[in-house]
A and B are shown apart, each in its own frame.
Chain A
Amino acid sequence: MPKIIHYRNKCIGCNICYESQPEYWRLSRKDGKATLIGAKLKKETYILEIPECDVEASKTTAEHCPTKVIKVSV
């Protein structure tokens, strides 16, 4: 199953991921960083399995993240 991986520590909360895929992202009001909805925490990174049909859009989001803290693995 493809995955989105979020290295949350280095996120700057710029809002771009949320603008591009609101179904996967929201901005935490607590610390101002992006949260990958429903993701599991593994050693400081958040991982979420996604369906094949969302891979392209997620890759675009990852490309647009200014700090490159989003990765998509297929």
Chain B
Amino acid sequence: MKKPELLAPVGTFESLHAAIRAGADAIYFGVEQLNMRTKSTPTITIEDIAEIAKVCQQHGIKAYLTLNTVMYDHDMQLASRIIRECKTHGIDAVIASDYAIFAMCREFGMPLHISTQANVSNIESVSFFAPMADVIVLARELTIKQVAHITSEVQRRNLKGISGDLIKIEAFVHGALCMAVSGKCYMSLHEKNASANRGACVQNCRRPYKVTDLETGNELVIDDEYIMSPKDLCTIDFMDQMIEAGIDVFKIEGRSKSAEYTYVTTKCYREAIDAVLDGSYNPEKITYWLSELEKVYNRGFWGGYFMGKKLGEWSKDPGSVATEKKVYIAKCTRYFPKIKVAEFTIESGQTNTGDTLLILGRNTGADKITLTELVVNGSKGSIAKRGDKITFPFESVLRPGDKLYKMVTSDA
């Protein structure tokens, strides 16, 4: 079995470091207004490309830049500046779906991945794109059998990408799905003039709708469900089959989500992939990963189209049904690298031993710890309140200013 690359979503520097900490093999991010999460993410700018490339190179992981919106004539200069910047700083590839971007990548010698926005759904399309790209992200609407057929045909036909290696096949393994075929949704554009294909989706599909009989004026609420809002994709319970299907890159969706989402999803899929490969993948582990994944942003899970189900699993809520939320409690004041101890000052609420804590920071990313021992103002204790200084052992480096949150149950 070949080991797939795990590709994590990055929308901020926090999530970049969270992805690295959680064991991603590669990350993807967008800059300025030419990516599909323009409206919802605090935008990373063209100036940040250098730092992102450097951080990824230092940690030995790959970095890909998405440039996959609909492109207009007035976007060409910016797009070409972005690609040149990627080339200069050694970003590993650009993910695109517009022919102008394909041409620019060729001109600048920039490796290219074909975005899911291009809807590649069959081997002939793969074969068409292969000579210009290294990776092809499949449409999200394929079954696992269809995907396996594509990957085996790549081998049989010996389809090579532009680099001379076999063309790689990428698929989404986790995150939001859309009621429309990848990249073909015009609902937000029709209703709010906000084009999803320019990264401005207003997510109006995520709301409940009524059907009105125009003749009688009678209104029907359909099944109490959000009939245009599919549940989120989750494949962790059939990771073994996903790996057997020969997919080269496993992508997690969620560039507009939080750093802890990136951390938890990446960590779970890292462990699941490794478990399949070392033979320790089992039902207990799956139950544990599912419970971890449920703690962060999600609309409920289903296996997507991979298992050949018809589109029929709709969410029951307008937003996330995450089982945990974070409450801010303290700020990092020091880290003692020799003894590996972190010091925090409590600024709000309190914490006890036994609490699960989340640490977030721009250059730290995200990390979780369950407090087993606690030192409050220099002596052993079990409760710390506002104004107290707490210290606890922590393996990896933290930085002054990093924030500490307590994880509590969502409906509390």
Contacts and interface: CB of A to CB of B under 8 A. Distances in A.
Q: Do A and B come from one complex?
A: yes
Interface of A: 11-16, 27-33, 64-67
Contacts of A27: 72, 74
Contacts, number: 54
Interface string B198-211: 11101000000000
Contact of B194 (A15, A30, A32, A66): A66
Interface in B33-57: 33-34, 38-39
Interface of B: 32-34, 38-39, 72-79, 192-195, 198-200, 202
Given A14-B195, A14-B200, 11 more contacts: A12-B33, A12-B38, A12-B39, A12-B198, A12-B200, A14-B194, A29-B73, A31-B32, A31-B77, A66-B39, A66-B202
B396 to A, nearest CB: 35
A65 B200 CA distance: 10
A32 B75 contact: yes
Chain B residues touching A, majority SS: loop
B192 A11 contact: no
A7 B195 CA distance: 19
B74 A67 contact: no
Nearest to B192: A66
Contact of B76 (A29, A33, A67): A29
B199 A12 contact: yes
A13 B193 contact: no
B39 A13 contact: no
Nearest to B78: A32
A21 to B, nearest CB: 14
A14 B76 CA distance: 13
